[in-house]
Amino acid sequence: MNWSPSRRGMLSLCGGVVGVVPLWSVYERYKPPTRYSTPPPGSWPVHGYDPAGTWHNPYATAPRTGVRLRWRVRDRALEPLSPVLVGEGTVYGIGVDIVGVDIVTGEPTLTHRSSDVSRGALVPSAVYRNESLILSSGAAIRALTLPDDPGSGTVRWNHTVNGTDTDGLVPPVTDGRDVVIDTGDELAVVEPTEGVVRWRRSGSGSRPSLAHGTVYTVDGEQLRGFDVETGDQTTAVQPSGLLPDSVVAIPDGFIVRDGGTTACLRADGSVCWRQSSTGHLPYASAPAVTDEAVYAVVPEADGRSIGAYSLSDGRERWRSALVPTGLSAFQAPAVANEAVYFPTADGGVGAVDAASGETLWQTAAPFDDRPISAIIAAGEGVYCSDGRSIYALGVG
């Protein structure tokens, strides 16, 4: 054999090298999105605002004085009730349909029809132009790449999962890099860009709280924590005398709710303080937590109120005169701009001062006499849904 490479052969070889080097250099520049504990300003990308589920948006300048309806968008398939999400200038309503509307004008930007009820979380991506919506329906998890122009988006990946939560009521939770999904049967952490399932465990059917690199869940008895990267169990505590149905991780412990009782737990599960009430809530409503206080719906013998407790010692600061609705499962009052926002028992929206509990404003009931979801506060407005429409309220 006498094979000497020709000039053409050498050129082909060089061409091959030139072809591969840019591929490698682009790939090497890839950095996955960083994990956040507080989402970017102007957004409310996940149910509960942040991965921990504090319902406290420190960036929002939501209205403290009288508000008016800025826009209303109708879509009849947004039931069952769920708070809206906000990301990159768009408000998303998620039910059977997934609807996106411009946050300023209320013009539609996304209409995605589905056959099952979903809950969602918005995640950024290092390789896609727009955010993605990760949707959990109880039977499946899927990623929707959001469109540049008004459209229906593209389902990027779709996985079936084992779930008893067929109504998809437990919302997915994200820290910007991973998405935690609890379908009732299954707790899973999914890489959102490619849909790779990092790990799966048995689920609890509660809204997970993601903080300090750990996924915390409660199953009505135990509070458990799993490493978000590996799925290894790192925490398992049984709070004394409590059967928690919702959890929010705080820097050195947890705030949990057990029906109408609100309690603070240390990292080892021991109780720092507990505030109980005489009444009963039909389902688990979550607390809102700031650096100083905890806000929660408090059932009373003759109704309900919003109660504020000092985070450090649990001392009750005030109870609101304005009466809230019971709030649906996993929902809580929203805290922003030193005010607490919630749907009122008479079918409107109300706000009370976060320091004193005094009523700041309340709307009449412009919501077709339908119950409304928990309020979310992003940018300069507050937003809610009644399952058939999305509402934007603002000043002026």
Q: How far apart are CA 87 and CA 42, in angstroms?
A: 7
Nearer to other proteins, 194 or 292 (CB): 194
Cβ-based neighbour number of residue 394 at 10 Å: 17
Nearer to other proteins, 146 or 392 (CB): 146
Contact 338, 306 (CB under 8 A): no
- State in angstroms the smallest separation of the CB of 150 from other proteins: 14
Q: What angle do CA 145, 148, 152 make, to 5 degrees?
A: 55
Q: How far apart are CA 335 and CA 378, in angstroms?
A: 10
Stretch of 12-20, 43-51, 221-229, 282-290 contacting other proteins, by CB under 8 A: 12-20
- State in angstroms the smallest separation of the CB of 16 from other proteins: 7
Query: Please, what sign has the CA dihedral across residues 394, 79, 50, 287?
Result: positive
Contacting other proteins within 103-142 (CB under 8 A): 126-130
Among 10, 11, 14, 16, binds other proteins (CB under 8 A): 16
Contact 175, 51 (CB under 8 A): yes
Query: Please, what sign has the CA dihedral across residues 296, 314, 219, 157?
Result: positive
Number of residues that bind other proteins (CB under 8 A): 30
Nearer to other proteins, 132 or 344 (CB): 132
Cβ-based neighbour number of residue 326 at 10 Å: 16
- State in angstroms the smallest separation of the CB of 179 from other proteins: 14
Nearer to other proteins, 1 or 301 (CB): 1
Stretch of 149-157, 281-289, 320-328, 331-339 contacting other proteins, by CB under 8 A: 149-157
Nearer to other proteins, 140 or 395 (CB): 140
Nearer to other proteins, 191 or 227 (CB): 191
Q: What is the DSSP letter of 329?
A: T
Query: Please, what sign has the CA dihedral across residues 243, 277, 182, 80?
Result: positive
Q: How far apart are CA 211 and CA 116, in angstroms?
A: 30
Distance of CA 395 to the CA centre of its chain: 25
Contacting other proteins within 19-38 (CB under 8 A): 19-20, 22-24, 26-27, 30, 32
Q: How far apart are CA 121 and CA 94, in angstroms?
A: 10
Nearer to other proteins, 23 or 301 (CB): 23
Nearer to other proteins, 69 or 126 (CB): 126
Task: Give the contact letters, 354-383, x = binds to other proteins (CB under 8 A), - = no.
Answer: ------------------------------
Contact 293, 354 (CB under 8 A): yes
Task: Give the contact letters, 190-229, x = binds to other proteins (CB under 8 A), - = no.
Answer: ---xxx----------------------------------
Residue listed under structure tokens 């169990």: 233
Q: What is the DSSP letter of 151?
A: B
Among 7, 65, 115, 148, binds other proteins (CB under 8 A): 148
Q: What angle do CA 97, 182, 191 make, to 5 degrees?
A: 85
Residues that bind other proteins (CB under 8 A): 1, 3, 12, 16, 19-20, 22-24, 26-27, 30, 32, 126-130, 143, 145-148, 154-157, 193-195
